[in-house]
Amino acid sequence: MNDQGQQTSSRSKIVTTPSSIVDPAEPVQVYVSGALTGVSDLAELKCFYEAIAEACREQGLKPYVPHLHTEPGTDHSPQQVFWTDKTTVLESGLVLAYMGHPSFGVGMEVAYAEEYGIPVIFLYREGTVVSRMPRGIPSLFREIIYVSQDDALAQLHDALVAFLTEHIIPL
């Protein structure tokens, strides 16, 4: 236990908060957050986000991948994107945030998750410098620091199993 009464594990960076337990009557929606603007490797990132979504499906979760709904360059207004993404984050039981590129949108999605006690998992490549502020949020469930995308997906599998074990109320 830490000084805020939250469970922690010394084996990995796991934090569980009582408000983050979800009811399994419906598949848990997982919001897959990641930079879509101002990145040079957008096609590769989209493939990675979709692989993350597939890892969620394999665990019986319901992923939401923003670029499959409000793709940059489409005729969705900034207001439509804001309300769609904010509402979807708040309807989710877990947020997976790719932290490999600075992104205002990802920061906002993580902040909304934190504000509403939604667990968050960060993913970023080893050697990436991620600001301490988001890394310090109480709703951070796990940080996945990986060396390859295969390594990221293997660690994500383990993190999702841990999430389901710790956050889903058995029927």
Q: How far is residue 9's CA from residue 27's CA, in Å, rounded to a whole number?
A: 27
What whole-number percentage of the chain has pLDDT above 90?
A: 66
What digits encode the pLDDT tens for the residues 94-130?
999 999 999 999 999 999 999 999 999 999 999 999 9
Q: What is the pTM of this model?
A: 0.83
pLDDT tier, 63 (very low <50, low <70, confident <90, very high otherwise): very high
What CATH number belongs to 7-167?
A: 3.40.50.450
Neighbour count for residue 118 (Cβ, 10 Å): 24
Stretch 8-25: mean pLDDT, rounded?
A: 43
Q: What is the end-to-end Cα distance of the chain in Å, rounded?
A: 27
Please state the three-class secondary structure of the chain as a single string.
CCCCCCEECCCCCCEECHHHCECCCCCCEEEEECCCCCCCCHHHHHHHHHHHHHHHHHCCCEEECHHHCCCCCCCCCHHHHHHHHHHHHHCCCEEEEECCCCCHHHHHHHHHHHHCCCCEEEEEECCCCCCHHHHCCCCEEEEEEECCHHHHHHHHHHHHHHHHHHHECCC
Q: How far is residue 148's CA from residue 158's CA, in Å, rounded to a whole number?
A: 16
pLDDT tier, 68 (very low <50, low <70, confident <90, very high otherwise): confident
Q: How far is residue 63's CA from residue 67's CA, in Å, rounded to a whole number?
A: 12
Task: Specify the residue for token string 């998750």.
Answer: 113
Please determine, for residue 31, whether its predicted confidence score (pLDDT) is greater than 80.
Answer: yes
What digits encode the pLDDT tens for the residues 83-98?
999 999 999 999 999 9
* Residue ranges covered by each domain of the chain: 7-167
Angle 10-110-73 from CA coordinates, rounded to 5°: 140
Q: Are 71 and 98 in contact (CB under 8 A)?
A: no
pLDDT of residue 9: 37
Q: How far is residue 132's CA from residue 154's CA, in Å, rounded to a whole number?
A: 25
